[in-house]
Amino acid sequence: MLFDLDDDTQLLQRTVRDFATGEVAPVAEELDRTKAFPYELVAKMGELGWMGIPFPEEVGGAGGSSLQYAIAVEELTRIDSSVAITMCAHTSLGTQPIYLFGSDDQKERLLPDLCAGRKLGAFGLTEPEAGSDAGNVKTRAALDGDTWVVDGAKQFITNAGTTISGHVAITARTGENQISNIIVENGTPGYEQGTPYRKMGWNASDTRPLTFDGCRVPEDNLLGPRGSGFKQFLHILDIGRIGVAAMGVGLAQGALDEALKYAKERKAFGQSISKFQSIQAKLSDMATEIEAARLLTYKAAWLKDQGRNFTLTAAQAKLKTGRLAVRCTEEAVQIHGGYGFIEEYPVCRFYRDAKILTIGEGTDEVQQMVIARALGA
């Protein structure tokens, strides 16, 4: 299958690329070093309509496709993963549950601000004992009259603690062997956002633990039918894997861009190191693997846009691109030599940012389980 991008998609690709190189690149190193959340960049992306790319215009979105969304994520990640994951987690995990499973009132109340980037959405699934074993949820929600009383904790949650965070949709046990998703809005008494984690990478992204202690939310904040949470979040994770796969492609491409640029400029033994066969082998392997991974990721997005089953392809893309990002960023550092170990060079940040792509949105081992299951093994 070949992807001949239409004019609108090509225009979006060029526009996001120009934004990433012109607006994000000049501040990326400082944001990473100071661990500062990119509020100004998020606001600009919201104004451009990029915080709601795959949602219909009637709910406040840009009316774009999943493929357009994946391409936008890829272009941002070529320059900076923290900015990209902010948009990616907001769109795939924060906004999709409201759009797919929310009531008319929930959509009308939340989607316009989410799609415009005025508010950020978050999804609270992971717990101290519920990561890869996502069904082992300990957080509980008991119905008291017309109010859910939530008690529990979440960890590794993205976008929940900024000044523009609007809500987190959490998984909670609402009965025996019953998991539901419930919307908890920021400012609700009993809902606390913990201190941001000290992380290896994604330093300008907001990631922190959450606690719920007698947190009371309206019964109407239930997301879809009671007890449907497990099925809901499995579908959300499938969608999220397309975005994370696009991040893997973008990060690998960014590493190749920097490695090729450096190899052409760096002189050794009287010539550019790009002329040495060993360096050419690294660059050619990177370029070939990136193109294969890109097509796999685009196929997953295309299948979703066609309304076809994309679970297998999204898992394959996520598995492939996460590993590729780690390998390409390592090779880029190697090509840079000692300079690759210095923070002033983007490949150092890229290397630190890459590893999480083999863990977040389902570890490599979980992707292998999903793929094997889809194959009927």
pLDDT, tens digit, for every residue of 158-202? 999 999 999 999 999 999 899 999 999 999 999 999 999 999 999
Task: Report whether pLDDT(280) > 70.
Answer: yes
The hierarchical CATH code for the domain 7-115 is 1.10.540.10
| Residue spans of alpha helices (H) in the chain | 7-19, 25-34, 39-47, 66-77, 81-88, 96-101, 104-115, 229-265, 277-305, 311-336, 346-354, 364-375
Tell me how long the chain is.
377
Mean pLDDT, the chain, rounded, equals 97
In this prediction, residues 261-279 reach a mean pLDDT of 97
**Residue 218 CB contacts under 8 Å (≥ 6 apart), including other chains:** 146, 147, 148
pLDDT digits (tens, 9 = 90+) for 51-78: 999 999 999 999 999 999 999 999 999 9
pLDDT at position 147 is: 97
All structural domains of the chain with their residue ranges: 7-115, 120-229, 232-375
User: Is residue 284 within 8 Å of residue 278, measured between CB atoms?
Assistant: no
**Dihedral, 365, 369, 371, 375 alpha carbons, nearest 10:** 150
pLDDT digits (tens, 9 = 90+) for 285-303: 999 999 999 999 999 999 9
Contacts of 250 (CB under 8 A, 6+ apart): 73, 74, 75, 76, 77, 78, 84
pLDDT of 2 over the 80 cut: no
User: How many percent of the chain have pLDDT more than 90?
Assistant: 96
Integer Cα distance of 16 and 367 in angstroms: 29
Residue 361 is a catalytic residue: yes
- Correct CATH for 120-229 of 3.40.50.1370, 3.30.390.10, 2.40.110.10, 2.60.40.1180: 2.40.110.10
| pLDDT of 1 above 70 | no
| pLDDT score of 132 | 83
Active-site residue, from 74, 127, 331, 361 = 361
Which is more confident, 43 or 135? 43
Mean pLDDT over 80-104 rounds to 98
Give the closest residue to 86 by CA, choosing from 46, 59, 142, 58: 46
How far apart CA 168 and CA 149 sit, in angstroms, is 15
Quick check: 79 and 24 in contact, CB under 8 A?
A: yes
CA distance 171 to 136: 10
Contact 199, 174 (CB under 8 A): no
CATH class for the region spanning 232-375: mainly alpha
CA angle 186, 188, 189 (to 5 degrees): 135
pLDDT number for residue 3: 67
d(CA 202, CA 223): 29
Pairing of strands 207-218, 191-193: antiparallel
**Does position 321 have pLDDT exceeding 70, yes or no?**
yes
